[in-house]
Amino acid sequence: MQLSRTGKSQYSEVEAAEELGVSVDQLRTMIRSHVVERDEDLTNVPVTTFQPSDLLVLRLLSGRKPSPMQED
């Protein structure tokens, strides 16, 4: 999976959706389908942040193939 080269260690919900190439609604649907057991669990987290490894797992769970890393 090719993430932006900003060296970020955390991504906001909007940034995570952009990195995955999906809308925020699609990201939330993926999380509901694969991560949380109940919708209430989503509301218990005031601010959602994602690490690069979270994005990799979400991409794999979504069935999208990770892009190969490009060399500089």
Q: Cβ distance 60 to 66 under 8 Å?
A: yes
- Containing H/E element for 39? helix 39-43
Report pLDDT digits (tens) over 36-65: 777 666 666 656 789 999 888 888 887 766
Distances (CA, A) of 9 to 12, 19, 71: 10, 13, 20
Report pLDDT digits (tens) over 2-19: 555 557 889 999 999 998
Six-digit token string for 20: 């995955």
* pTM for this predicted structure: 0.66
